[in-house]
Amino acid sequence: MKMLKTIVLSSLVALSMGAFSTAAMAEASEGRISYAPADAIDMMIGELKKAKLAAYEGKSGDEVYKLCKQAMDYGKDVNANDVVDRERSRANEHIKKARGMAKKNEMKGIEEHLNAAIKKLEEMKGLI
């Protein structure tokens, strides 16, 4: 009897995990907009170009920071495959460096990181 209870309990736990898994319910909810990877890359590039222009025009570091943050948020939808994800993380390293510089209000040299990130993202389009 004790063994039967253990088997039934473990079966119920396994069934409940399968029925309510997060992978099964991973579709976009009503409040979340999801983009195709190519569209997300284009939006990331657009935000980085805006950030580059804002830095060139001498805008505040907060504005450049917000644009870089928005670009990284768009990057969450770039999930085509492992190679693309690896390249996205390499581009994100440059964006993080630019964000850090913008947070400290150091606009000298920020364009190098933004240009490197834009270049990585444009190369990534061919991998999709």
Residue 41 lies inside a defined structural domain of this protein = yes
How many domains does the structure of the chain reveal?
1
Categorise residue 109: left if φ over 0, alpha if ψ from -120 to 50, beta otherwise: left
> Mean of the pLDDT values across residues 97-119?
92
In a domain, 45, yes or no: yes
Is 87's pLDDT higher than 80? yes
Residue 65: give the domain boundaries.
36-127
Q: What pLDDT, on the 0 to 100 scale, is given for residue 125?
A: 85
**pLDDT at position 22, please?**
55
Is residue 117 over pLDDT 90? Answer: yes
Confidence grade of residue 23 (pLDDT, cut at 50, 70, 90): low
Would you say residue 118 lies in a domain?
A: yes
Domain with residue 102: its CATH number is 1.20.120.660
User: Within a domain: residue 1?
Assistant: no
Q: Is residue 123 part of a domain?
A: yes
Assigned domain for 16 exists: no
Q: How far apart are the first and last CA of the chain?
A: 56
Q: What share of the chain is helix, strand, coil (3-state, %, to 5)?
A: 75, 0, 25
pTM for the model stands at 0.72
The residue among 67 and 26 whose pLDDT is bigger is 67
pLDDT of residue 28: 55
Is 52 within a domain?
Answer: yes
Residue 19 within a domain: no
CA distance 119 to 63: 22
- C-alpha angle with apex 122: 116 to 113, nearest 5 degrees? 15
> For residue 4, what pLDDT is reported?
87
pLDDT at 15 over 80: no
